[in-house]
Amino acid sequence: MEYVHVPVLYEDVISGLDVKPDGVYLDGTLGGGGHSRGILERLTTGRLIAFDKDADAIENAQQKLSEYGDKITFVHDDYKNALERLDEMGVGELDGALLDLGVSSYQIDTAERGFSYVKDALLDMRMDEEQSLSALTVVNEYSEKELLRVLYEYGEEPNARAVVRKILAAREKKPIETTLELAELVASAYPPKERYKHGNPAKRTFQAIRIEVNDELRGLEEFVTELALRLKKGGRMCVITFHSLEDRLIKRAFVELEKDCVCDKRLPVCVCNKRQEVKILTKKPILGEKEADKNKRSESAKLRIIERV
């Protein structure tokens, strides 16, 4: 299957990055390569370093973007390891950075990857297929307490207790092995009249398990802070989030980076040594819902942009 991914908020991202022809850019979430292509088209002597922990994404983008030659460096790794990898490459400050934190269309549409709650496949949800932890493990081996934590924290699932009870009862008889098995179990935890009132009831549970499997939120705020400090003066960072948990972390990181001295104003001199590091260019996030008619998966997207000062 071809790796197809419609880049979310493409025009806003590319204009937000304000790409310099000789700049050095990081795309921490390569995916289908749509945003990366937009950056590469604007580079002359510049360079793009593109990360993805999905080997399929790397392989497909290497083919699709081969015309750009050594303007792009592909790195098969989690973007959270980007700073160490940049150090290894001898790359210092960046002119811009992009993180698109969504699951790619390819991952969802490729049934055997086990991300979709409407296509039947073995439960998987690993972005990096070389890692051991999968959705199959989470659903069948996590304790009641662990499952409740995952569903409450990462899915904000109001019906978590009922969903977990259904999972525990089902796996006592036999392992829960497929995506549709799990989706049907989740649906059965809701009263019939409430079941499809707000779309597919499995959405939050699948989101929660996917975040757990791929460890998506751990260290995100700290990483974004460190990456922002790697930008040159005037360098830009764009971050696209798809659910409130991610967006909260990104917003908090950006607000903290924008703060100047936080000392008591009655003190004669600053003792906190806090300085404004960035300017937030999007006081309110740019919403993907404006292009949802063209790209359904952009519906919940939020883009936040900062500039180093």
Mean pLDDT in the chain?
92
Q: How confident is the model at residue 5 (pLDDT cuts 50, 70, 90)?
A: low
- Contact between 2 and 33 (Cβ < 8 Å): no
Question: Does some domain include residue 2?
Answer: no
Question: Does some domain include residue 283?
Answer: yes
Containing domain of residue 233, as a range?
10-101+218-308
Q: What is the pLDDT of residues 261-278, one digit of tens each?
A: 878 778 888 877 788 999
93 and 25 together in one domain? yes
**Boundary-marking domain end, from 170, 190, 214:** 214
Q: What is the pLDDT of residues 110-154, one digit of tens each?
A: 777 888 888 899 999 998 888 999 999 999 999 999 999 999 999
203 and 246 together in one domain? no
Question: Does some domain include residue 17?
Answer: yes
Q: How many domains does the chain have?
A: 2
Give me the CATH number covering residue 117. Answer: 1.10.150.170
Question: Does some domain include residue 3?
Answer: no
| Tokens matching residue 34 | 């749509």
pTM to 2 decimal places: 0.88
157 and 300 together in one domain? no
Q: How far apart are CA 82 and CA 84, in angstroms?
A: 6
Report CA torsion sign: 131, 135, 141, 146: positive
Q: Going by DSSP bridges, is the β-strand pair 302-308/231-241 parallel, antiparallel, or unpaired? A: antiparallel
Question: Does some domain include residue 72?
Answer: yes
253 and 195 together in one domain? no
139 and 197 together in one domain? yes
Q: What is the pLDDT of residues 77-106, one digit of tens each?
A: 999 999 999 999 999 999 999 999 977 766
**Max intra-chain CA distance, the chain:** 70
205 and 131 together in one domain? yes
- Contact between 239 and 101 (Cβ < 8 Å): yes
82 and 143 together in one domain? no
117 and 86 together in one domain? no
Question: Does some domain include residue 5?
Answer: no
**Boundary-marking domain end, from 214, 230, 252:** 214
**Boundary-marking domain end, from 184, 214, 244:** 214
191 and 237 together in one domain? no
